[in-house]
Structure 1
Amino acid sequence: MSINALIVDDEEFSRQSLYFLLGEHFPEVKIKGIAQSVAEARKMLKTVEIDLVFLDIAMPNEDGFNLLPDLQKVNSFVIFTTAFDQYALRALKASAIDYLLKPIDIDELKNAVIKVIKLKTRNGNDQLISDNIKAQLNSLEENLSDIKKINKINLSHSNGFQILNINEIIYVLADSNYSIFHLENNQSIIASRHLKEYEEILKNSGFSRIHKSTIINLKHLSDYTNKNGLIVKLSDNSEHVVSRRRSSEFLETVRNYFKH
C-alpha cells in the first residue's frame, strides 16, 4: 500500500530532514508535496490527493491548526511536528492525534507512520476512515478553543475509539496498563492507556488524582469527610479514599476549583 504525503513546515532544515527520513525508512510513503506555509498547503490539497500530512504547528501568518478545516474536507490523516508546547500537546493527546517532537526521533516517526498504515489497511472502508478523521479533528478543534482546558477526550479501546465530553466522566481507575472510565448513566469504558497519561491530559480541567489508582472529576464531587481518613463521595454514590500523601494537594485543588 502506498501513502501520498505532504510535508508542511516553514523551516527548511525540518522539511529536508523529514523528507530524507521518510525516503530512507518508508518507501511506501510517497512525498507528493512540500509546503512552507498553511496557504501553500491549501493550494496543494486542492490539486493532489493526500492521505497523510506532516504538519508543523508554529509557523508565521497562520499556525498549523488553521489547516484543520481543509484537512477535514480531504480526509487526510495528520501527524503534527512541533517543538514542545504543553497546552498544544495536551490538546493533541486528548484528541488521540499523533505528534512528533522536534528534532524528530526515528523510532517515534516509525511508530506514527506504521499506525497510519495499519489504520488504512485495517479499516479499508473509506467512509469509516473519513468519519474517524473528522471526529478526531472536531475534538481537537474544540479542545483548542480554550488552549488551557480540555473539553473532549478521545478514548482508544479494543474496538476503536470513543469521543467523550469530559463532563460525562465521574472517575477513572487504573487497571495495570489500562484505565477504566466510569461515566454518567452507569457506563464504563476500558481505555488502552496508562492512568498517568490521562492525569496529564485532564489535570487543568477540573480533575484531581486522589490516589495512585484514582482520578476524580470535581464536577461530580458531592461530599468529602476526614472522619475515618479522607473519603470522597461522588454523584454516582461511589466512595473513594484520598491517599494521605495526596490529601493536602487534593484539598487545595478543591478550594481553587470551587472559587470559580
Structure 2
Amino acid sequence: MKIQTINAVIVEDEMAAVQALKAYLAKYCPQVTVTGIAYNCTDAIAILHELQPQLVFLDVEMPFGNAFDVLEGCRDLDFETIFVTAYSEYALRALNQSAAYYLLKPVSIEELIVAVQKVGQLIQQKDGIRRNQVVIDNNKNNFELQKLILPTIDGFEVVQNKAIMRLKGNGNFTDIFMEDGSKKMVCRFLKHFEELLTYPFVRIHKSHIINIHFVKKYHKGTGGYVVLADGSEIEVSAGYKDQLLRAFA
C-alpha cells in the first residue's frame, strides 16, 4: 500500500535541532516532506499561512513567544501538531489534557516514528476535531475553557472539564460521569486523570475523583461521604479526608 505523503513545517529556534529533526525524518519517516522551516513565532505564523502544511513540528519554548502564541496566530488554519519540548510541567499538562502528541528533547527516534504514524492516521481519518484549539484553551488559566480529549474506540471525544461531575476507577478503565447524566468509559487508569486534572478536581477515595463544584453536602465520619448535585453519595477515604476539606478552606 502506498504511504501517504505528509507535508510538514518545522518551527524551532535552534539550528542544530532543526538539522537533527530533518535528518531523522528523512531516514526514519520518509512519508514526511519538510516544505518549510521557521525559527521564531512571527515567521512561523507567516510561513504556516503561506504553506498551509498538514503537520507542524512545533517547539514549545522560543525567544519572543512560544508554541501557544503560534497556535493563537493560526486559529484559521487546520493542521496536526507534534510539539517538541524540554520538560515543563505546566505545558505538558496542557498537552496531555488535549491528547496532543509531543516529543521531549532530545528527540527519541522511536518516539518520533510512533508520533508521526499516529498523526498520519489522524490526517487520513479527518475526524473534525480541532486539537490545536483545545491546546490553546487548556493553556489558558481559565477553567471555563478547559477541555479533555477522551480516546474512544472510534477516535476521540471532546468534553468540557467543567461538565465533569466525577470519575470512578473501573479496573483498567475510568467511568466519567457528566453533568447531563451521561457516562463515558475511557481506557485509562484513574491515576491518569488524577495527574491531568487540578482544582476543582479532588481525589477522595482510591476509586473516586470529584469536581467539588458539584458537592451539595459533606457528612462527617472517619472519612465521611459527600453528596453530589445528582444525588450520588460518594465515600471519602480517611486518608483523603484532609485533602477534601482543604479544597473547601
Q: TM-score, normalised by structure 2?
A: 0.90
Q: Aligned AA for 2:182?
A: Q
2:129 aligns with one of 127, 132, 144: 132
1:112 lines up with 2:115 in the alignment: yes
Aligned to 2:163: 168
Matches within 5 A, 1:18-57: 18-57=21-60
1:94 aligns with one of 82, 88, 97: 97
Q: 2:129 and 2:67 mapped to 1: Cα distance?
A: 20
Q: Aligned AA for 1:174?
A: G
Q: Aligned AA for 2:189?
A: H
Contact 1:91/1:150 (<8 A) preserved: no
How far does the alpha carbon of each residue in 1:152-194 deviate from its partner, in whole angstroms, 9 at most, with x for none? Answer: 2222222322222212111001122322110112111112322
Aligned to 2:210: 216
Q: Which has the higher helix share?
A: 1
The answer to which of 141-150 and 106-115 deviates more is 141-150
Q: Aligned AA for 2:208?
A: T
Shift of 1:229: 4.1
Q: 1:140 and 1:170 mapped to 2: Cα distance?
A: 22
Q: TM-score, normalised by structure 1?
A: 0.86
How far does the alpha carbon of each residue in 1:6-54 deviate from its partner, in whole angstroms, 9 at most, with x for none? Answer: 1111012221221122122111111112221122223322332411000
| Gap regions ≥5 residues in structure 1 | 256-260
Q: 1:165 and 1:23 mapped to 2: Cα distance?
A: 39
Q: 2:142 and 2:66 mapped to 1: Cα distance?
A: 14
Contact 2:54/2:123 (<8 A) preserved: no
| Gap regions ≥5 residues in structure 2 | none
Contact 2:223/2:241 (<8 A) preserved: no
Identity of aligned residues (%): 34
1:243 aligns with one of 218, 237, 240: 237
Q: Aligned AA for 1:189?
A: K
Instruction: Output the aligned Cα RMSD.
Output: 2.1
How far does the alpha carbon of each residue in 1:118-149 deviate from its partner, in whole angstroms, 9 at most, with x for none? Answer: 1223x1xxxx44x313xx22222222221799
The answer to which of 143-152 and 94-103 deviates more is 143-152
The answer to which of 165-174 and 104-113 deviates more is 104-113
